[in-house]
Structure 1
Amino acid sequence: MPQGETFCSAVSKVLFISQIFALLPVSHIRSLNVEGIVFKWLSPHIFYSIIIAILNICEFGAVLNFVSNVAINFHNSSTLSLYIVCLLEHFFFWRLAIKWPRIMRKWHAVEQLFLSVPYRFYGEYKIKKRIYIVFSIVMSSALVEHCLLLLNSFHLSNMERTQCKINVTYFESVYKWERPHLYMILPYHFWLLPLFEWINLTIAYPRSFTDCFIMCIGIGLAARFHQLHRRIAAVHRKVMPGIFWTEVREHYLALKRLVRLLDGAIAPLVLLAFGNNMSFICFQLFNSFKNIGVDFIVMLAFWYSLVFAILRTMLTIFVASSINDFERKIVIALRDVPAKAWSIEVQRFSEQLGNDMTALSGNGFFLLTRQLVLTMGTTIITYELMISDVINQGAIRQKTQYCREY
């Protein structure tokens, strides 16, 4: 790893892109010096984020009005939850932005230990490359999902317009299908479509980016645990002086404090992201048991969205759990310390490793370790068994219903 490759510099471009969608409104996010990263209440980023927040809140009010008029059901309740999750994600990123400069300074201070000798020789984790790969894969897949859902809306709105003989233009039918809650209170104008599509992007973007952000944090922390493990593995079965183990233990404790700091800052985002992912997966699985029609575009958008949600959640768990994976490798390496080299410092280090698990969490409700995959899988299987009585309905594939009643 190059000596200057810190987490702050590695993640700066990714966070800059997120600010386009009004997330994490911090000034000078791409500053090469962490001292330059500041949070200012009077800044263009805050002003822009406030505008987007107001527009999202107004649209959420329109959704509430729509639901109250047509009566709540399983479908529009999912739309309602989508807007609630979106608003909460924007709020939590805003809350994190206030703490972000202080977090980056503390992270940078800890990283200085691992950017100098001897850790420089154990730095092959390539933080920036991994972050860019994860961000590119997740967000490009999210863009494909968004385009498929748009294509699905264009297709269904056109089918509704033609087959149900609705006397409106093509773009007005798209507006009516995509935004029925706004169609009730705001007349159609062509210039509204780009504005509402941008608002739609600010709503859709945080759902995937929150998972991506958790993965970026996991990569940055795992890189330092990786270096610590490699330094210990390099002295495998060798007799080392007590000062070596004292230094290694102090560096481990510095990383441990950093993990606690990050966990306290992003825990609400972790809880919200995984709660939203699980509810969305269960909602889509329920719909898969029902009749979703035989229309190719509808089915393609549906199954892509479901598979993407599952794979994105799994990838988030595996990347974030690498922190705990490297800690377990350190524990295994300590077991190979020769008896004649065993000392009070090694014993203290071993006890500190065994007393507490190092991992990001969802506000203490769960830990981001590999065991979470089994837990979530078990929950989904249990859910499927509970609703198995509707599987027979899903076996009957009928023509997609285009005409809707409001």
Structure 2
Amino acid sequence: MFDYSDDEVSNKFITSRSRRKSGMKRRSKNRDDLREERTSAFGYANENFISDFGLVSGEAQPRELITEAYPPARIPDNHLNVIPLFKPRPLTLHTNRRGFPPQSNVVDHPDSFFKSIKVAVQMAQLFSLLPVTGYGGPNYKSVTFRWVHWKTIYFAIYLVGNTFILFCTALRSFSYGFTYDKSTGLVFFASSLMASLLLLQLATNWKKVNSDFAEMEFKLYKYNYPNGISKRFRIFTYVFMVLALVEHILSRVAQMQREVICSKDGSVISVVEAFIRNYYMEVFTYISFSLWIGIVLVILQFLCTFTWNFADLLLGLIGWTISSRFKLFNQALFKVQGQDRDSSFWKMTRMDYNELTDLTRKVDSYIQKLMLLSLGDNLYFICIQLLKGLNSNRKSGNIYETAYFLWSVGFLIIRTCFVTFTAAGIHDESKEAKTVLYSIPESSYCAETRRFLTQLSTNDVALTGCKFFSITRGLILTIAGTIVTYEVILVQFNTGDEDLPADGNNTYCMNF
């Protein structure tokens, strides 16, 4: 929180209407003379300071710089004194929530982006991702990224383990032959490694991301916040991760069921040992088997699986937040549909719209690589899981494999739809304002409305996949068509070989 000293207030900011009328050229430095003086300032207000090109009007009080503040479009007629501020000045706002709010009311709002996504970030940090500090603080300003911190070290350990497994998997794949079935492990560990690195890059910019959202929330405070979005995010995060955990457990149970034939005596320890030997044979081909090393590998794979799922969750929540903001803007605009409004109203409305489009572009620059990786991963694994299910799971008669197949494919489709629909919602909502502009009265039609309508019609506001494509509803149909096409091709070229022979012999089991 920033504030002025008494001298700075009297000399640089406060202008008394009564003293200006009496012709006095010097402002009083007496604190008592500041009481109830009506003041105005020419400047642009954001959460920390005021600079040029905006307007703030207020009432000065002892110990308070501003007690009432209004955005430029809502300056009362009786506030006539205007003074220029040639340099940015720190600003503390004390308001009754009309117009510009206090800084604390914005960045500490329970439905702000920082508060809404807090649970997801803290859950990610539990599993080594997004190693930022400061989420126990009151707002995003406490968030920092430090290379020398236990969270970053935790992430580095996971990264080294992931890289080691990927190296062993790639080495065995190219040494013993590369098939579509054996490619899943290589693609999985490679994608989780890339996702981890991209999330690390995002962590270094995480304070900027939160700052961009907070700046937008401050400037568009008059539209309020998406009602209850923080609660919805919290519930959805828990449900999403529970579904991911169920998928992971079903995968392990189905694999354990197959390892019974490889165990020595059918005991739990023997089955677990057989599972580790066979599931991580890429690693134990090059190092001696150890149960403790196997347990570490199980933990590392769990972290890789979490990374794979969390990337989709984070992208979906970010897209959800931005589309909700566009929706609030559209709701406010639809309230004036058909009404006669002057050019200043449409200018301010267009500027508010620009705040949202600028935010979308800034956020896209942070997450576009992760978006491309996420959609590519989901497309690949949906095709592979469908092919495996058609060729193996239904023939094996193993109820656990069948359950895993159905759950895995269903959850993959849900994840893909969640990411694409929330991101596509940004593009859809960004075009809704055209309906209002098409119905304005003839008397309201002006240069500002023409400019706004042209911007809405020609400006493509959307998240992208590294600028290769924009996330729109049309992309969803394209992805669905691609899955069907590739599935037909894979089925035609697949030999139908299964990992587990029908006669149940132990050629599947790894020999040591």
TM over 0.5: yes
Residue in structure 2 matching 1:140, options 219, 223, 242: 242
* Residues 225 and 323 in structure 1, CA contact (< 8 A), matched pair in contact too: yes
Tell me the residue number matched to 1:230.
331
* Residues 191 and 373 in structure 2, CA contact (< 8 A), matched pair in contact too: yes
Task: Encode CA deviations 1:297-346: one digit per residue, 9 max, x unaligned.
Answer: 11211221112111211122112222122112212222121222111111
Distance 1:401 1:294 in 2: 12
Tell me the residue number matched to 2:458.
355
Pair 1:62-2:168 in alignment? yes
Distance 1:390 1:297 in 2: 27
Worse-matched range after superposition: 270-279 or 346-355: 346-355
Unaligned runs of 5+ in 2: 1-104
Distance 1:59 1:386 in 2: 30
Structure 1 residues 170 and 287: CA distance shift in structure 2, 3 A:
closer
- Shift of residue 391, structure 1, vs aligned partner: 9.0
- Shift of residue 177, structure 1, vs aligned partner: 2.2
Pair 1:179-2:285 in alignment? no
Tell me the residue number matched to 1:39.
145
- Shift of residue 262, structure 1, vs aligned partner: 0.6
Select the structure that is richer in helix.
1
- Shift of residue 193, structure 1, vs aligned partner: 4.2
Structure 1 residues 189 and 145: CA distance shift in structure 2, 3 A:
same
Distance 2:172 2:492 in 1: 31
Tell me the residue number matched to 1:102.
208
- Which letter maps to 2:118? S
Distance 2:233 2:210 in 1: 17
Distance 2:333 2:137 in 1: 34
Tell me the residue number matched to 1:210.
311
Residue in structure 2 matching 1:24, options 125, 130, 134: 130
- Shift of residue 398, structure 1, vs aligned partner: 8.7
- Which letter maps to 1:340? S
* Residues 249 and 349 in structure 1, CA contact (< 8 A), matched pair in contact too: yes
Tell me the residue number matched to 2:302.
201
- RMSD value, Cα: 2.5
Structure 1 residues 211 and 315: CA distance shift in structure 2, 3 A:
same
Distance 2:493 2:328 in 1: 51
Tell me the residue number matched to 1:155.
257
* Residues 263 and 273 in structure 2, CA contact (< 8 A), matched pair in contact too: no
Residue in structure 2 matching 1:332, options 421, 429, 435: 435
* Residues 9 and 32 in structure 1, CA contact (< 8 A), matched pair in contact too: no
More contact order relative to length (CA 8 Å, sep ≥ 6): 1
Pair 1:274-2:384 in alignment? no
Task: Encode CA deviations 1:206-246: one digit per residue, 9 max, x unaligned.
Answer: 11111111111012112211121111011111011222111
Distance 2:125 2:320 in 1: 21
Structure with bigger gyration radius: 2
Structure 1 residues 49 and 389: CA distance shift in structure 2, 3 A:
closer
Tell me the residue number matched to 1:260.
361
Worse-matched range after superposition: 268-277 or 351-360: 351-360
* Residues 278 and 509 in structure 2, CA contact (< 8 A), matched pair in contact too: no
* SS at 1:225 equivalent: helix
Q: How many residues align?
A: 397
* SS at 1:376 equivalent: helix
* SS at 1:237 equivalent: coil
Worse-matched range after superposition: 244-253 or 325-334: 325-334
Tell me the residue number matched to 1:294.
397
* SS at 1:31 equivalent: coil
Tell me the residue number matched to 2:184.
78
Tell me the residue number matched to 1:130.
232
- Shift of residue 278, structure 1, vs aligned partner: 0.3
* Residues 290 and 393 in structure 1, CA contact (< 8 A), matched pair in contact too: yes
- Shift of residue 390, structure 1, vs aligned partner: 6.3
* Residues 216 and 356 in structure 2, CA contact (< 8 A), matched pair in contact too: yes
- Structure 1 length normalisation: TM-score? 0.91
Structure 1 residues 129 and 390: CA distance shift in structure 2, 3 A:
same
* SS at 2:137 equivalent: coil
Distance 1:302 1:289 in 2: 9
Tell me the residue number matched to 2:194.
88
Distance 2:477 2:136 in 1: 38
Select the structure that is richer in strand.
2
- Structure 2 length normalisation: TM-score? 0.73
Tell me the residue number matched to 2:340.
239
Worse-matched range after superposition: 195-204 or 210-219: 195-204
Unaligned runs of 5+ in 1: none
Structure 1 residues 88 and 400: CA distance shift in structure 2, 3 A:
farther
- Shift of residue 162, structure 1, vs aligned partner: 6.1
Task: Encode CA deviations 1:264-295: one digit per residue, 9 max, x unaligned.
Answer: 11000000000000011111222233243221
Distance 1:389 1:87 in 2: 32
